[in-house]
Amino acid sequence: MSPHHTRLGRRLHRFTRRPRRVAMLSVHTSPLHQPGTGDAGGMNVYIVELARQLAAQGTEVEVFTRATTGGLPPAVELAPGVLVRHVDAGPYEGLAKEDLPAQLCAFTHGVMRAWARHRPGHYDLVHSHYWLSGHVGWLAAERWGVPLVHAMHTMAKVKNAALAEGDTPEPPARVIGETQIVRAADRLIANTAEEAGELVHHYGADPARTAVVHPGVNLDRFRPADGRAAARARLGLPQDAFIPLFAGRIQPLKAPDVLLRATRLLLDEDPSLRERLVVPVVGGPSGSGLAKPEQLQKLAARLGITDVVRFRPPVGQELLADWYRAASVLVMPSHSESFGLVAVEAQACGTPVVAASVGGLPVAVRDGVSGLLVDGHEPAGYARALRRLIDDRELAARMGEAAARHASGFGWDTAAAATAEVYAEAMAGRRRHLRSAHG
């Protein structure tokens, strides 16, 4: 047999061993929630798009999430082959993410009740997202005798090492919980090689059980479409304005205040810019930002820039794509990002990005090609980067074109296929373990 056919045979063998049905766990935020509100953000988009593509490629997905309002149907079809199951665990409203560890027992009970209605072997694998889900997944996978694949999305030790001023550190209980999940999981999925390194360094993860799978972007939704002028017309934005956009949850971790302070520096340097500068902030308070939801508006008033800043509530994905297209540049001064899906979405729409050189952002953004990376969080650094794009329209246009090309490599079909490979490896590893255990 030729080497080519041997490789083909191996690939086909792997494909046939992929799971028929996966139980996906997302305790603290539902894939049905609007990203940019409360705790809903990039992870919601990740779960929705990954589940859709896995189903399209032949693996059914059932997503278990906590019911946050009364009267929700027990199960909702999100897409063909993707079911969202609502689990009653604790009061529907008023529970912060920090209160949820106390509800994990009730949530696990709900997951087990759903499983008990099926025949043995209904789920081939558990894929948990974020540490709260990891604890439920650990128990479920052990009870069902299937592999556990876990995605951290963010890590307490990494967040605490890059804490924004005024932000609340992650509690020791989360650090302990994450350490336990790393030990228990058959496979860990990291967004980038850097995140994989952090899992090994901070939590003692086994590199052989840690896989890197870049998240994707919905390239049908996020694309240049009919261009900047049309998007600005639809949103009622001036055609000749320079528009640096912030899109995301409003909390110290995401550092929207850095963009506002950089705006003040730009206006101090060139007062004439005031006539053609519009700074949209699209998103809602989240996390520790919920304690002072008006803080950013008050900062804009103190800085004397309320006439140029436009606060907008979170918007749906279609309208968000228009905001990306309308912007001159997306600004992401985050203190920590496991990947930075927003950066890839904006680039897919043909918009360059100015971002902090942290976490996965150096992978999401090609520095000097599709955008500019800034070391640190000093507003002056962001003001300088924005000034470059204001002064050099050709550079901005070149970066916008390169951004769309760069983002085209991040399709969800690629991410789902790579995730299915990780599933197949986890299942094969579990079978090997069982064989050796039984001699």
The binding site for UDP-N-acetyl-alpha-D-glucosamine comprises 34-35, 42, 249, 254, 315, 337, 345
Binding site per annotation, positions for 1D-myo-inositol 3-phosphate = 28, 39-44, 97, 130, 154, 174
- Read off the tokens for 398: 């070149």
Residue stretches of the annotated binding site: 28, 34-35, 39-44, 97, 130, 154, 174, 249, 254, 315, 324-325, 327, 337, 345, 351
Binding site feature residues for Mg(2+): 324-325, 327, 351
